[in-house]
Amino acid sequence: MLARTVTHALVGLDARRVEVEAHLQLGVPAFAIVGLADRACQEAKERVRSGIASAELEWPTRRITVNLAPAELRKEGSGFDLPIALAVLAASRQVPPEALGGHAAVGELALDGRLRPVGGVLAAAEGARQAGLRHLLCAAESAAEAALAGVEPVPLRHLAEAVAYLRGEWVPPPPDPITAASNGNGATPPVPDLADVRGQERARRALELAAAGAHNLLLGGPPGTGKTMLARRLPGILPRLPPEQALEVTRIHSVAGLLAPGRPLVTVPPFRAPHHTASVASIVGGGSSPRPGEASLAHHGVLFLDEFVEFPRNALEALRQPLEDGAVSIARVGGKIVFPARFQLVATMNLCPCGARGDPAAECSCSAARLAAYRDKLSRALLDRFDLVVTVPRPRARELAGSPGEASVAVRERVVPARERARGDPLRRSTPAEELLSRAVERLPLSARGRARVARVAHTAALLAGVEEVAPEHVAEALSYRSPSELGMP
């Protein structure tokens, strides 16, 4: 007796169709899974056996062979539990095999038959839709996520419910309405407000420009001047994600297992802040079975690197490709996997190893050799990819005792229209602005990349000003944020 059901295996962010074939034959009772299954998938034998028994169904006393086709595609994870169980039950005629038509299935089984959610349900649902399958059997907690792909989810809490549904004895309740999550973890933490920042008008302006134009921003200065405080207030002035970008971000966070049940849709730009001990693979993605790294988890959002210079140099240099291409390419023997990674890089750093450089109240104790080694941790090519470079000085006492600064909501009211205008026709540069930019290329000098980035910042400044063309003052402001000499770099 043979029966089949359909599921999907994840390859990067893509779902590949997998047919789960269960064959029962006479012989010594045994249970084998073939088809290049990893250890978690092989362990499904025990979970499926216990789950079927807990659902008060009969375990076939036959020789059971489950094939996961195509055999050359590696199958990983526990999401194959449910389709394997359904294929075995269909082969033993405990559910009608024809009832599995038009359905895909994904989910992990507990030993008592309960269904647990797994990562990548959105990708699996998209794969089912593209294959012409109308329904996806999945854990109840994953139903709202599956609905984002346009298929009809069948929310299940127990294997017994799946059997009753396929027998036509039970109608599942409609999935809960889709609730937007504020970030990949589904929580809604309070967003720090820019009103908390006293003084630092130049850095605040740079933060507004960065938000309006999705520019890369590097904040340097002595410890305690508010660099990290400023950077962590960037999410409060960013606009929400458009629908197509929200789905892209949700798919990545789903594969990474970061979505909260019932709150699948990520509608705000992600803000990722890895520790400076993070490895190259954790930053850009990788591993034996490549997974998205922090750069991809920050897609259409912000990658914040605090203590920038303390990150391993090879991890920082690995960011150069995604900063230019908006994607991370990971090559393996079996092929190449591409993860989207169009993020905004925001970083902070001290101006020297001891941290006293740039602080009028302290004296730097770093030798010339130590300072040179510190600077060498950042390549010129990487620094060239920052649109805005700002030194954050120590605030004066009267500034700290002064009134609160402009609130995030007021800044956001300028940022959102500027972003919307940027999606339309680009502003033209006036002749004097073009001449100033050309002179800057010769005198600074600026690389071709540097010129393009100055032009982009000037364009953003004009959008924030609400004017119809880029003027010389906008180019001059952009140029003022461009020089690494602000950070004492040669």
Question: In the β-sheet with 135-139, what is the strand arrangement from edge to edge?
Answer: 30-34, 63-69, 14-25, 2-11, 103-105, 135-139, 152-156
1 pLDDT more than 80: yes
| Rounded to 5°, angle at Cα 267 from 255 and 327 | 50
| 7-21, 64-78, 262-276, 300-314: least confidently modelled range | 262-276
**What's the pLDDT at 185?**
45
> Quick one: 401 exposed, middle or buried, by C-beta within 10 A (0-12, 13-18, 19+)?
exposed
Residues 6+ apart with CB under 8 A from 158: 55, 113, 114, 115
Residue 14 has pLDDT above 60, yes or no: yes
Second-level CATH architecture of 194-403: 3-Layer(aba) Sandwich (3.40)
Closest CA to 204 of 468, 386, 404, 382: 404
Q: Which residues lie across from 181 on neighbouring strands?
A: 266
Residue 113 structure tokens: 């038959």
pLDDT at 29 over 50: yes
- Which DSSP letter does residue 486 get? G
3-state SS of 372-406 is HHHHHCCCHHHHCCCCEEEECCCCCHHHHCCCCCC
Token pair of 360 as six digits: 């009028």
Helices (H), 214-367: 227-231, 243-255, 280-284, 294-297, 313-317, 320-325
C-alpha pair distances (Å), 33 with each of 24, 30, 65, 314: 12, 10, 6, 41
Backbone angles phi, psi at 220, to 5 degrees: -120, 155
As a whole number, mean pLDDT of residues 56-79 equals 94
Half-sphere exposure of 169 (CA within 13 A, CB side): 8
pLDDT for 394 beyond 80: yes
| Banded model confidence at residue 182, pLDDT cuts 50, 70, 90 | very low
pLDDT tens figures, 291-348: 899 999 999 999 999 999 999 999 999 999 999 999 999 887 767 889 999 999 999 9
Contacts of 413 by beta carbon, 8 Å cutoff, 6+ apart: none
Determine contact, residues 120/258, Cβ cutoff 8 Å. Answer: no
25-39, 125-139, 355-369: range with lowest mean pLDDT: 355-369
The token pair at 48 is: 């499926």
Tokens 């988890």, located at residue: 297
Angle CA 425–427–431, to nearest 5: 145
The stretch 194-223 carries a mean pLDDT of: 94
**In 3D, which of 169, 147, 148, 165 has the Cα closest to residue 156?**
165
Residue type, 457: V
Please list the residue range(s) of the chain that carry CATH number 3.30.230.10.
2-166
CB atoms within 10 A of CB 190: 6
For the cut 80, the answer to whether the pLDDT of residue 263 exceeds it is no
Q: List the single range of 159-163, 363-367, 415-419, 467-471 with lowest mean pLDDT.
A: 363-367
Which position has the higher pLDDT, 347 or 188?
347
CA distance 207 to 344: 12
Q: Which residues contact 420 (CB under 8 A, 6 or more apart)?
A: none
Summary mean pLDDT of the chain: 91
Checking if the pLDDT of 287 tops 60, the result is yes
Element containing residue 15 per DSSP (H, E): strand 14-25
Residue tagged 């970083």 (tokens): 347
| Residue 82 · residue 48 · CB < 8 Å | no
Q: Are 37 and 24 in contact (CB under 8 A)?
A: no
pLDDT given at position 187:
44
What pLDDT is attached to residue 179?
Answer: 52
d(CA 333, CA 168): 46
pLDDT at 262: 64
Q: What pLDDT score was predicted for residue 345?
A: 97
- Top-ranked range on mean pLDDT: pick from 206-220, 329-343, 446-460: 206-220
Confidence class of residue 81 from pLDDT cuts 50, 70 and 90? very high
Q: Give the residue from 223, 467, 249 showing the smallest Cα distance to 343.
A: 249
* CATH number assigned to the domain with residue range 2-166, chosen from the 4 options 3.40.50.720, 1.10.10.10, 3.40.630.10, 3.30.230.10: 3.30.230.10
- C-alpha–C-alpha distance, residues 251 and 255, integer Å: 6
Q: Give counts: helices (H), strands (E), the chain.
A: 20, 20
Domain with CATH 3.40.50.300 in the chain: 194-403
pLDDT band at 488 (very low <50, low <70, confident <90, very high): low
pLDDT band at 184 (very low <50, low <70, confident <90, very high): very low
Q: Which tens digit of pLDDT belongs to each residue from 246-261?
A: 999 999 999 998 987 6
How many whole angstroms separate alpha carbon 411 and alpha carbon 168? Answer: 56
Q: Work out the average pLDDT over 414-443.
A: 91
User: Would you state the pLDDT for residue 178?
Assistant: 61
Residue located via tokens 């080694």: 373
Q: What integer pLDDT is reported at residue 446 of this predicted model?
A: 85
Question: For the whole model, what pTM was predicted?
Answer: 0.90
Q: Which residues pair with 16 in a beta bridge?
A: 9
